[in-house]
Structure 1
Amino acid sequence: MIRIVVIVSEPTSLATTRGHLLLALQAAGYEVHAAAPVDATTVRWLTENGIRFHPLPMERAAIAPFGDTLLAFRLYMKIRELKPQVVLTCAIKPIVYGIPAALIAGVSRRHALITGLGYAFTDRHKSLRWRMVNAVARLLYAASLRAATTATFQNEDDHDDFRRLGLLGLTPANVVNGSGVDLDRFKVAPLPEKPRFLMIARLLRDKGLAEYLGAARLVKAVRSEARFDLVGDEDPNPAGFPVSELEAAVKDGTIHYHGPVEDVRRVIADARIYVLPSYREGTSRSVLEAMAMGRPIITTDAPGCRAPIVPGVNGLLVPVGATTPLAEAMIQLIDNPDEAECMAKNSRSIAEQRYDIKKVTAHMMEIIGVERPL
């Protein structure tokens, strides 16, 4: 039996984002192991599905030379102990430390899945701190990806940037349509008549939170009936959004903040239009989920954001970091309900054609080299 170890930095992604792939690998006859920081709900799900979990302490956002050295050593020891034939790493720290560890441990198939580039590649202000983080990230990626069997991206822009920056070397690279969306779970919901906007994101500046709040204020000044909802948790990332600014927007009635929500289907069903003014994504899972439930999308003309959108067909694209165009797009869909309803139908259609999780999983299985059919 072939043994695979899947290493991630965000444990909840094992069930929510990678769950379909893990179960498909298992069904194909693989012995599946997962390594990540501990999350009780995720560990329970993995255990119930016969997937072996290995706790892996990891500071997802922090740059900590001692802690990261210890992480690299732990990864090497765990991989050497498990003796897998395949290792799949997702996100920057599992990739830059897990791929070399797998090479040294003698693993023959070493796969890197770049799900997004995050703060290390998206600070629009090019601060000194960001320049240092970016330089380190590029060096680490270049070293680790040259040791990978394959590198897989979730949008063409990230792939092209890594090629242009010389970070891939001769490593074969692939592009998949994000992580996909479960069309059976995220079913079409009736489109509410009231102009209710929704954004789901971790509380980070580079998700476009300032722009969302600013656009909400502009829209409410001229369309007082509009409502703006925000779902998401705080994040230790250096680009974290100040809680004080969020609290002020809640206090003055600009937005309704729900915090983290375990099942987002209810909040998507309550919304008429989904908004994500992010500066960069891999491919946003929340956008795909909103599309699957039949919602028009307003997002930015940025890598990973524009990929699922056909402008004027299932949504609107606005410039990155621009509040006024975002507000204008919101008003356009408030004032043109027929256009919004047409986009809603097209969103579901595009989700079915390109982002069905079954199709994405099949593509990932092909990349990993699974010989048995799903």
Structure 2
Amino acid sequence: MKIAVIGGYSPSLINFRGPLLKALVSEGHEVYGIAPLDSQDVPQKLADMGIKFIEAPIQRTGMNPLKDLAALFALVKILKRIKPDTVLSYTIKPVIYGSIAAKLAGVKNIYSMITGLGYAFGQTSGKRGLLFKLVKTMYRVGLSCNNSVMFQNPDDRELFKNIGIIPQNKLTVVTNGSGVDLDHYTSSPVPEGGPVFLCISRLLKEKGVREFAAASVNLKKKYPQAKFRLVGPYDLGPDSLSDALIENWQDNGVQYIGPVEDVREELKNCSVYVLPSYREGTPRSVLEAMATGRPVVTTDATGCRETVIEGRNGFMVPVQDVPALELAMERFILQPDLMQRMGTASLEYIAEKFDVNKVNATIMKAMGL
């Protein structure tokens, strides 16, 4: 079969969908990766995996209707040309416009993966409420074209049904996130010495970066031997954080590293992984930390709560609750034996539920492959 996978950021075809694309190729399918050309080396990397890359003018952020309409027509043209049997889209704009384009192009098998709801679903009233209503309507139109819809956690599936984005009887599947490649992210012992707390995230408010920094600054004053590292890129948009704020964190004991191409070394050098996000699909960085053998502190929020069995491989705290986050992190400083014990439990849980091979098998079955 010919299978087209549509994403909104070309490196994600490798970093997030690479194992799935490889699995599809290994089953003998002809696979196309469709996305904007965000990185010049992506086409060759995909070609080395046996995948054909096609550039599409999809803007990952922004709500320019003319540019989005141009993206829709470009996708229709691409799909009519390659004539895929199946289209799988992920992230908001590819899901909406990719699904509509696939329908217009006469594709019979159309699937979408909801990998997280993002800024538009953070607030349903006021100015952001208008954005929520618009995105809700666009999702409803796009997903009406789908044979079935995949979700990374059960909360998002129930939300989409309860607010009428998809009908109650719509065929849906929960995939346990994107999974993690346990051959690529391998376990390592917790390093000796003072504890190192790590957060890997785009610098956005709703990722909980502010809460991580506030708890870290407080703990640094009490425990100078502890280290607190923040890794990730700035992200432009209404939810972004200022340079001045990040500089203030650095002045008060938070080490800001910036973006890194390969996070494995950072994960191996940390003791505890922290992600106080407001909501996720299933947080990929948490899964990678678990595969490295690290305990997790995260929020009792959609997607995040799927990764932690409370008291077994980590702790969950309420969203935006800095004192609770600080206490959870402090437990590892006061009881350092928890790091290795809970890290071992993370390894057991990741193999049981989030192994990428198991997740890919679920996705391929949902697509009838």
Whole-Å separation in 1 of the counterparts to 2:338 and 2:257: 28
> How many angstroms apart in 2 are the aligned matches of 1:236 and 1:35?
24
Structure number with the bigger relative contact order (C-alpha 8 A, sep ≥ 6) is: 1
Match of 1:258 in 2: 257
* Amino acid in the other structure paired with 2:232: G
How far did 1:122 drift? 2.0
**Which structure 1 segments of 5+ residues have no match?**
none
Corresponding residue for residue 335 of structure 1? 334
CA deviation profile, 1:294-342 (whole Å, cap 9, x unmatched): 0000000000001010000000000101111111111111101122221
Could you give the per-residue CA deviations for residues 70-101 of structure 1, whole angstroms, max 9, x where no partner exists?
A: 11111111111111110000011001111111
- What residue is the counterpart of 2:137 in the other structure? 139
Identify the residue that residue 291 of structure 1 maps to in structure 2.
290
The amino acid across from 1:128 in the alignment is G
8 A contact 2:201–2:231 mirrored in 1: yes
- Partner residue, 1:24: 23
Task: Please report the TM-score for the alignment, with normalisation by the length of structure 1.
Answer: 0.96
Q: Give the Cα–Cα distance (whole angstroms) in 1 for the partners of residues 15 and 304 of structure 2.
A: 20
Distance 1:291 1:112 in 2: 27
Aligned to 1:151: 149
AA in 1 matched with 2:142: S
Displaced runs of 4 or more, over 6 A: none
The aligned amino acid for 1:287 is: V
Q: How does 1:63-74 map to 2 (within 5 A)?
A: 63-74=63-74
Partner of 1:346: 345
Three-state SS of the structure 2 residue aligned to 1:40 is coil
How far the C-alpha of 1:244 sits from its partner, in A, is 1.8
Q: Distance in 1 between matches of 2:14 and 2:345?
A: 28
Report if aligned partners of 1:211, 1:321 keep a CA contact under 8 Å in 2. yes
Alpha-carbon shift at residue 230 of structure 1 (Å): 0.7
SS at match of 1:306: helix
Q: Are the equivalent residues in 1 in contact too, given 2:88–2:113 (CA < 8 A)?
A: yes
Equivalent residue in structure 1 for 2:162, among 158, 161, 164: 164
Which range moved further: 130-139 or 307-316? Answer: 130-139
Question: Contact 1:148–1:171 at 8 Å: present in 2 too?
Answer: no
- The 2-side partners of 1:127 and 1:192 are apart by 46
Are the equivalent residues in 2 in contact too, given 1:61–1:236 (CA < 8 A)? no
The aligned residue for residue 177 of structure 2 is: 178
Task: Work out whether residues 189 and 340 of structure 2, in 8 Å CA contact, stay in contact via their aligned partners in 1.
Answer: no
Specify the SS of the correspondent of 1:100.
Answer: helix
Tell me which residue corresponds to 1:230: 230
SS at match of 1:61: coil
Query: Hey, what's the Cα distance between the residues in 1 that align with 2:100 and 2:248?
Result: 46
Give the AA of the match of 2:255.
H
Which residue number corresponds to residue 53 of structure 1?
Answer: 53
1:127 positional shift:
6.5
Asked if residue 81 in structure 1 is aligned to residue 81 in structure 2, the reply is yes
For the 8 Å contact 1:152–1:176, the answer to whether it is kept is yes
CA apart distance, 1:254: 2.2
The Cα of 1:62 is off from its aligned counterpart by 0.6
Q: What is the match of residue 104 of structure 2?
A: 104
Matches of 1:367 and 1:33, distance apart in 2? 19
Deviates more, 1:286-295 or 1:163-172: 163-172
Aligned mates of 1:133, 1:236 — CA distance in 2: 18
Give the aligned partner of residue 44 of structure 2.
44
Deviations 1:33-81 (A, max 9, x none): 0110112232221021221111112221111111111111111111111
- Residues 145 and 171 in structure 1, CA contact (< 8 A), matched pair in contact too: no
Which moved further from structure 2: 89-98 or 165-174? 165-174
Give how far 1:147 is off: 1.3
Q: What code does the residue aligned with 1:20 have? A: P
Aligned partners of 1:239, 1:72: CA distance in 2, in Å? Answer: 26
Alpha-carbon distance in 2 for matches of 1:351, 1:95: 28
Residues 1:221 and 2:200 are matched in the alignment: no
- Matched residue SS, 1:20: helix
Size of the aligned set, in residue pairs, is 366
Note the C-alpha offset of 1:14: 0.6
Q: Distance between the aligned counterparts of 1:86 and 1:249, measured in 2? A: 47
CA distance in 2, matches of 1:41, 1:322: 41
